[in-house]
Amino acid sequence: MSGNGSAGGRPGGAVLPNQMTPAGRRRGREVMAAWRRDGTEPLRLDAYRPWPGAAEAAWYRPDDGRFTEPTEILAVEGLSLRFGGVQALREVALRARTGEVTGVIGPNGAGKSTLFNCLSGLLTPDAGRIVFDGAPLDGAPARRARRGLGRTFQTPRLFKSLSVLDNLLFGCETADWSGHRYVFDTRLGRLPHAERAAQIARLVGFRGDLSAPAGALPFGDLRTVELARALCGAPQLLMLDEPASGLDTDQAERFVGLMSSLASMGLAILLIEHDMALVMGLCRQITVLDFGQVIATGTPDEVQRDEAVIHAYLGRSAARA
Ligand code: ADP
Ligand code: MG
């Protein structure tokens, strides 16, 4: 079994997550070759580039010295939840740190979304402990959002009859309640809500009409606006449930650029994602779930070599073929 949660001897914070090194690209290509056998079309990591808002975002400075040493913001221990006959989570342990994208992967039905629902307060686990930012995490979803937990859903959830702007304003309310600063741009908190929302919409690459009803948006924009809403809430930890699924390659690549930039500004990101090339390219640490259990935790290199992980994915798809 791989990994003990350390960054594999890498000097902490010395490599920004959004800098793709030649070794990183090589690893991406290897991973893509391996995972192609699973039948998924991977992203082109060579085309890794900033999202469209980068040029106009004053805070986008990839070499900026504001990147600080990662600190643990989330620690989950022994999380279990049963639905009738299905043990959806069994003693799950997970950690996330600021300034890093932490991956949560696993085959369909492994319990990934259930884990997020337990963290965000939509489900109550049967057992387990969640410590967030130094204190136990409990209460209703809104309370957890005010603690600094932002999330998106596997199927985007917006108020469809409200305008895009109104959806974003809800997020801004959360930020004011919490008093948290915007990790990725501390000046945003001083702006009026509408201006703040418009800036964040631009940063995530939303180019549509802010006054349009959210229900009328094409799918890619739904994902983008949902991400903007989460960011409007000034999250300290951002949880994304398959954010690239349903996006075309171009949109997904921009999404990757945005995520790595946000992490490089110090945000903690927890990412559920099916696309292995994307996960391997972005994440410092990966936790692999299968049938509700953690079967591996470690760096991308460690988990992709892990026998149990290979079996959980490739073994199963080979059996299907
Ligand atoms: P993943 O996101 O990894 O694909 P899920 O967390 O959605 O997996 O589901 C894990 C398991 O729990 C699956 O077997 C699923 O059918 C079951 N499950 C998820 N939500 C519910 C629910 N609300 N009621 C009953 N079973 C559920
Ligand atoms: Mg899911």
Q: Does residue 26 surpass a pLDDT of 70?
A: no
Distance 96 CA to ligand 1 centre (A): 22
Q: Whose CA is nearest to atom 24 of ligand 1?
A: 83
Q: Is the pTM of this model over 0.95?
A: no
pLDDT at 320: 42
CA-based end-to-end distance of the chain? 27
- Give yes or no for residue 266 CB within 6 A of ligand 1: no
C-alpha–C-alpha distance, residues 29 and 286, integer Å: 18
Question: Rounded to an integer, what distance in angstroms lies between the CA atom of residue 321 and that of residue 309?
Answer: 18
Which of these ranges, 19-33, 183-197, 252-266, has the smallest mean pLDDT? Answer: 19-33
* Predicted confidence (pLDDT) at residue 14 exceeds the cutoff of 90: no
Q: Are 131 and 75 in contact (CB under 8 A)?
A: yes
Closest residue by Cα to residue 269 from 288, 280, 284, 254: 284
Is there an atom of ligand 1 within 6 Å of 3 CB? no
For ligand 1, the distance from its centroid to the CA atom of residue 247, given in whole angstroms, is 23
How would you class 282 by CB atoms within 10 Å of its CB: exposed for 0-12, middle for 13-18, buried for 19 or more? buried
Q: Is the CB of 287 under 6 A from ligand 1?
A: no
Nearest protein Cα to ligand 1, atom 15: 109
Residue 253's identity, in one-letter code, is E
CA dihedral 298, 299, 301, 303 (to 10 degrees): 30
Q: How far is it, in rounded angstroms, from Cα 171 to Cα 197?
A: 8
pLDDT of residue 227: 94
- At 76 the pLDDT is 98
CA of 112 to the centre of ligand 2 (A): 5
Atom of ligand 1 nearest to the CA of 84: 25
108 CB near ligand 1 (under 6 Å): yes
How remote is the CA of residue 115 from the centroid of ligand 1, in Å?
9
What is the residue-averaged pLDDT of the chain?
79
Residue 87 Cα to ligand 1 middle (Å):
9
- Residue linked to tokens 């974003």: 168
Task: Kindly state if the Cβ of 92 falls inside 6 Å of ligand 1.
Answer: no
Burial label for 321, CB within 10 Å (0-12, 13-18, 19+), is exposed
Share of the chain above pLDDT 90, in %: 46
Give the highest mean pLDDT range of 17-31, 53-67, 75-89, 207-221. 75-89
Q: What is the pLDDT, as a whole number, of residue 59?
A: 40
**Which of the four pLDDT bands, split at 50, 70 and 90, describes residue 155?**
confident
Percent of the chain with pLDDT over 70: 76
Residue nearest to atom 19 of ligand 1 (CA): 114
Q: Residue 41 pLDDT more than 60?
A: no
Alpha-carbon separation of residue 69 from 103, 177, 204, 267 (angstroms): 19, 27, 25, 12
DSSP string, 137-203: --S-HHHHHHHTEEE--SS----TTSBHHHHHHHHHHHHHHHT---TT-GGGGGS-HHHHHHHHHHH
Please give the number of the atom of ligand 1 that sits closest to the Cα of 289: 3
The residue ranking higher by pLDDT, 260 or 136, is: 136
Mean pLDDT of 250-261: 80
Average pLDDT over residues 155-182: 90
Higher pLDDT, 147 or 21: 147
**What's the pLDDT at 17?**
35
- Beta partners for 76? 94, 130
Question: Which residue has a Cα nearest atom 25 of ligand 1?
Answer: 83
pLDDT band at 46 (very low <50, low <70, confident <90, very high): very low
Q: Which residue's structure tokens are 């400075």?
A: 61
Q: What is the pLDDT of residue 314?
A: 63
Contact assessment for residue 258 and residue 230, using Cβ atoms and an 8 Å cutoff? no
pLDDT score at 193 = 93
Q: List the single range of 52-66, 145-159, 221-235 with lowest mean pLDDT.
A: 52-66
183 CA → ligand 1 middle, Å: 32
Q: Inform me whether the pLDDT recorded for 168 exceeds 50.
A: yes
Chain length of the chain: 321
Phi, psi of 147 (to 5 degrees): -75, -15
**Cα–ligand 2 centroid distance for 106 (angstroms):** 9
Helix, strand or coil for residue 101?
strand
Dihedral-angle region of residue 106 (phi above 0 means left; psi in -120 to 50 means alpha; beta otherwise): left
89-142 pLDDT, tens digit each: 999 999 999 988 999 999 889 999 999 999 999 999 999 999 999 999 999 999
Per-residue exposure over 9-28, b if at least 16 CB sit within 10 Å of its own CB, e if not: eeeeeeebbbebeeebeebb
Tally of CA atoms within 13 A in the half-sphere of 83 that contains its CB: 11
Task: Note the pLDDT tens digit of each residue in 267-312.
Answer: 999 999 877 778 888 888 999 999 999 999 998 888 888 888 888 8
In this prediction, residue 257 has a pLDDT band, given cuts at 50, 70 and 90, of: confident
Contacts of 155 (CB under 8 A, 6+ apart): none
Structure tokens at 282: 């972005």
Check pLDDT > 70 for residue 186: yes
Chain-centroid distance, C-alpha 286: 12
pLDDT of amino acid 249: 78
